[in-house]
Amino acid sequence: MNKVIEGAAYVLGNDIDTDQIIPAEHLVYSLSDPEERKHYGEFALSGVPADRAGLPEGNIPFTESGRSESKYSIIVGGKNFGCGSSREHAPACMEIAGVRAVIAESYARIFYRNSVDGGFFIPFECAARLVEEIKTGDDLMIDLNANTVTNRSRKKTYDLKSLGEVIEIIEAGNIFEYARKMGMMPSASDGPQ
């Protein structure tokens, strides 16, 4: 697993809910169909209202019109990121759009578990209020070994909370691969049981 994640930041505020991450009207596409799957990336974070305080200055869209991948690969959020419904489509659409990590002050528990269990992206926590320190478009580098994020645009480094045992699931790829690795489930090469 790559121990460094680099990319441009996309900054949001508090209480970004799953309906803002992927609005319900876009849940009509199949996640297993490669062409339909792209629509989830196209509509990722499209439900954040333009007048919401959490939207980046200048109402910058997360993905450009007609594109399924964003130029922003690291989301920076405030408190209670991923609140709302428990839909797995929310972290999935962010991964499809190219998100590799989210750094928030805190998460809704189910969203956090869905992100880790599905292997969609790495959800980091930071005690510092990064939404006031980082701007959309800033160049970030996350060092998994040091548990830090460096804002290379502003030459400032912040400590991230340790991922603890969650890192093992992330390194395995998802909860099922972790269970296979730990002998809790048969591996695909074991054949039918």
pLDDT higher than threshold 70 for residue 1: no
Across the chain, what does the average pLDDT equal?
90
pLDDT digits (tens, 9 = 90+) for 92-124: 999 999 999 999 999 999 999 999 999 999 999
DSSP line for the chain? --SEEEEEEEE--S--BHHHHS-GGGTTS-SSSHHHHHHHHHTTTTTS-TT-TTSPTT---SS-TT-SS-SEEEEE--SSBTBS---THHHHHHHHTT--EEEES-B-HHHHHHHHHTT--EEEE-SS-GGGT--TT-EEEEETTTTEEEETTTTEEEE----TTHHHHHHHSSHHHHHHHTTSS--GGG---
Q: What is the pLDDT of residue 126?
A: 97
For the cut 60, the answer to whether the pLDDT of residue 191 exceeds it is no
The per-residue pLDDT for range 32-84, each reduced to its tens digit, is 999 999 999 999 998 876 655 455 565 788 998 889 999 999 999 999 999 99
pLDDT value, residue 85: 86
What domains are there in the chain, each with its CATH number? 4-162 (3.20.19.10), 164-193 (no CATH)
Answer whether residue 186 shows pLDDT above 90: no
> What mean pLDDT do residues 160-178 have?
90
142 pLDDT tier (thresholds 50, 70, 90): very high
